[in-house]
Amino acid sequence: MANLKEVRGRIKSVVSTQQITKAMKMVAAAKLRRAQDKMIQMRPFAKKLSAILQNVSAGVDEELVGGYVTERELNRLLIIVVTSDRGLCGPFNTNVFKATAQHIQENYSYLQNSGDLTIFPVGRKAYDYFRKRDYDVDSKFYELFHSLDFDNARKAAEYVMGQYNLEEYDRVEIIFNEFKNVAQQILRIEQFLPIQQPEEDEYAGSISDTDYILEPSKEFLVKEIVPKSLKIQFYKALLESNAAEQGARMTAMDQATDNADEILKDLRLTYNRTRQAAITKEILEIVGGAEALSADN
């Protein structure tokens, strides 16, 4: 059985850890509120913009939209993997890594074997993970979460779009965690380029039945909307991942605090039992000594 000094040391250590997890939970909760507000504001705008894009681009020459809708033979693939910069957020990053590895294994193993698959990490965890495993990594914008705003996201999206237009890649996909609630994230694997048909939803309404009055012209608007829509979709994915990260960290720190409570209960019980055993032993030694003295007399 551990001695009292060791148990006291362990209790002190767990209490200190619990204070840290409580503080981290509070910080994550504050960050979550801000991230969630930005994400909620962006969702309807991004989805409505996609619906408008689909409607006004119907019947327009593909050359006008810069080849963003043209399906090409898949010879080179870029996968954008969005994770966090820091850990202590439960399985948030691990789920992305597992999903990416499984997705590649099931669909693009031949591209990976031939060296025609590139990872575009957003978040230090993704950068470290894929770099250490000898993937072809484009690390130009992996520190985006250091200063997450639309201007920085726009630069990263423009870079990816430029690489696609130069035919460096024939398809671009993005893997990220979508925020559902504090305790749950939804893993998304979406095609970023070429543009796919957006689904009708509660925000967009019926795409085919919507009639727009266009000024100055459909061609001009398509040229303006397509790049902007792609940048917005990319920024939205980052906002979703950021909110999901804070929710996952808040949940993880809450569970860690609860686990610390359980450990403290066990340690305090062990401490009391050890202390009681030590006192009982001392009493027995005193009684034994007194009896020995009585026998000598």
- The catalytic site residues sit at 89
> Which CA distances in Å does 240 have to 84, 99, 293?
12, 17, 79
Nearest by Cα to 107 from 58, 175, 27: 175
Length of the chain: 297
What is residue 174's three-state secondary structure? strand
Q: Cα dihedral angle (141, 147, 153, 159), rounded to 10 degrees?
A: -30
Encoded tokens for 20 = 């840290």
Q: What is the DSSP string of 88-153?
A: -STTHHHHHHHHHHHHHHHH-HHHHHHT-EEEEEESHHHHHHHHHTT-EE--TTTTGGGG-SHHHH
Residue type, 220: F
In angstroms, the CA 119 to CA 172 distance is 10
Nearest by Cα to 90 from 255, 249, 243, 241: 249
What is residue 196's three-state secondary structure? coil
| Exposed / middle / buried, residue 264 (Cβ in 10 Å: 0-12, 13-18, 19+) | middle
Task: Please tell me what DSSP assigns to residue 67.
Answer: T
Nearest by Cα to 92 from 240, 244, 237, 257: 244
Residue pair 179/43 in contact by the 8 Å Cβ criterion: no
